[in-house]
Structure 1
Amino acid sequence: MAQNLIRPPKTKVGEKTFQRIIKTGKRLFARHGYQATSINDIIAKSKVAAGTFYIYFDNKLALYLYLLKEYRHAIRQASSEATRGLKSREEIERAGLKAFIMYVKKEPLAYKVIWESLFIDPKIFQEYYQSFGDSYIFHLRHFVESGEIRNDIDLETLAYILMGISNFVGLQILFREEANET
């Protein structure tokens, strides 16, 4: 997405500073929105010099894209860990949905940051969900081949239906604020 706009830290001190900038950016983007959050706001709340921000990020968008990439990776990792070793598509869907819900319960700012990308640049939002969809389709093909999913079903549509269920059940849980492990 924006790898060339990000320069990872090279030292432990740099890593702490990098993480502080990320944490601050995440909080400010979620609270005030991307447009209303300035680099100066991030710098001030992170307690770093202006030049320090630019050691790691070319601009505010680079930080935002990094956060999206971080969320995508964390959600996939949570789902992968929860579904490891499961065999049936139903088991995988249940475990993956549960993992997603528990992740967004733990990281409720994820929704705000992810969905705001639609208003920053619709292509960013599309790429974010398309990457999930492509991965979903890849895994669904195995279950078509094994006969667990009918071969006349459009896998892209099925992938987006399943992602939609996860997204909106996750929102329902957040609205209720009472997610538990069941």
Structure 2
Amino acid sequence: MRWTPALERPDLLAEPVAAALRALPAEDAAAVLVAEIDPDVADTAALVASSDVTLEESANCVLVGGRRDGEQRVAAALVRGTDRADVNGLVKRALDVRKASFLAREDAVSASGMEFGAITPVGLPDGWRVLVDGAVAGLPRAVVGSGVRRSKLALPGALLARLPGAEVHDGLGRPA
């Protein structure tokens, strides 16, 4: 994979992702790289099998929601590729809802402005919580979606933990 500064290749980014990167402090934006990939290998297992990206440095972002007092509460959960988000435990408690579930595909795509299978915590709507597993926050390099299936982002886990709405939660990821 050929990694280049993400802001030099806005054609490889969903518009909300590009806008979020432009809004970052210059030193943070410079730390975000993008690589073009075959959309057929956008899923974590396929990417790991076809590139030098490891499962341990891959990070998956899922959108989860639940209702409380008639209010829809939505969050992104970011865990390592080796793990699954603890939706029925930690995520449910963090959202303070009775039941948490993955957003429907159509809802996830329309609300995020990103392609399904490429949703990333970078550039999510204002006010959304981003629950980051402590293991992801500690990665020197985390590989995440770019908002489009034809590329991936690489950035320090610590930067993911500083994104707008980000909250670090140890134990968010459970071994798959």
TM-score, structure 2 normalization: 0.22
Q: Which has the higher contact order (CA 8 A, sep 6+)?
A: 2
Which structure's residues are more often helix, by fraction? 1
Could you say which structure has the larger radius of gyration?
A: 1
